[in-house]
Structure 1
Amino acid sequence: MTDTVANDTPNAPAISSGIPEAELTRLTDEIVGALKSVYDPEIPVDIYELGLIYKVDIADDRTVAVEMTLTTPNCPSAAELPGMVESAVAAVPGIADVKVDITFDPPWDQGRMSEEARATLNLW
């Protein structure tokens, strides 16, 4: 089975996993922490708080699939960010492999940013 960590989905259903619950919680927390260490070079907010991460799946074999977007299809960091995400998540102990997919469906907008990101960017 696959466990999903979706940004901004507080009512996501519980999904069974072959990974023990405590270990899954640790992996989830550390993956989110890793994602928060990645910044778009042109924006002083991490990609998680910016709302660029749409979905994270953790498979029983500890392979992680990250679905993310960019602020625009013409983002100057488009070539860099997926590799930065892959490296950050792969550094989490216990992760076997990481795959990063870029999507523009739905397109990113400022409504996806956290309150912390809005405050940092003075967007109220």
Structure 2
Amino acid sequence: MDDASAISEPAAPAEETSVLPLETSSAIPPAELEQLTADIVAALKTVYDPEIPADIYELGLIYKVDIDNDRNVAIEMTLTAPGCPVAGEMPGWVENAVGAIPGVGRVDVTMTFDPPWSQDRMSDEARVALDWY
């Protein structure tokens, strides 16, 4: 998403750093954290909802990404609808994509439908790709 402020984020524990937006309390060196963040976003952009020709990051399905000091990644995401046919598979796709990044430890993906996804979470890139502007 281009607008990180649109992401609803509860306060992260002191030992974790939120990817969107970056915080400065991490024990991970800033340059490494910046690269890891870019790599995670790039990995998330490789995962597509099979029914929508846009990636899950640009669709706004990623609500929260936390990286702890051991480089474990916790991802909170949603789907476009609770009855999505790939609801059981997509968290695994996300886990595999992010887990393939060198230096990343454990990856935990949690699904949530609170708040429900809506089209206003989509980036301008996704809106153009879907002709929903």
1:15 Cα offset (Å): 3.4
In the comparison of the two structures, how many residue pairs are matched? 119
Q: Which residue of 2 aligns with 1:9?
A: none
Provide closer, same or farther for how the CA distance between residues 13 and 43 of structure 1 changes in structure 2, counting only shifts above 3 A. Answer: closer
Q: Secondary structure at the match of 1:28?
A: helix
**Counterpart selection for 1:120 from 105, 129, 132:** 129
1:2/1:15 contact within 8 Å kept: no
- Matched position secondary structure for 2:86: coil
TM-score (normalizing by structure 2): 0.87
1:58-106 deviation per Cα after TM superposition (whole angstroms, max 9, x unaligned): 0001110000000011011101110000000001110011000000010
Fraction of identical pairs, as percent: 62
Q: Residue 38 of structure 2: SS of its match in structure 1?
A: helix
* 1:3–1:16 CA contact under 8 A, matched in 2: yes
Residues 1:4 and 2:18 aligned together: yes
Once residues 131 and 61 of structure 2 are traced to their aligned partners in structure 1, the CA distance between those partners, rounded to angstroms, is 18
- 3-state SS of 1:49 partner: helix
**Which residue in 2 is equivalent to 1:74?**
83
Q: Distance in 2 between matches of 1:32 and 1:116?
A: 15
Q: Secondary structure at the match of 2:96?
A: helix
Instruction: Give, in whole Å, the separation in 1 of the partners of 2:45 and 2:104.
Output: 17
Match of 1:20 in 2: 29
Call closer, same or farther: CA 1:44–1:26 in 2, change over 3 Å: same
Normalized per residue, which structure has more helix? 2
Q: For the Cα contact (< 8 Å) 1:35–1:89, is it kept in 2? A: yes
Cα separation, 2, equivalents of 1:14 and 1:4? 6
Gaps of 5+ in 1: 7-11
RMSD of aligned C-alpha atoms? 1.0
Give the TM-score normalised by structure 1. Answer: 0.93
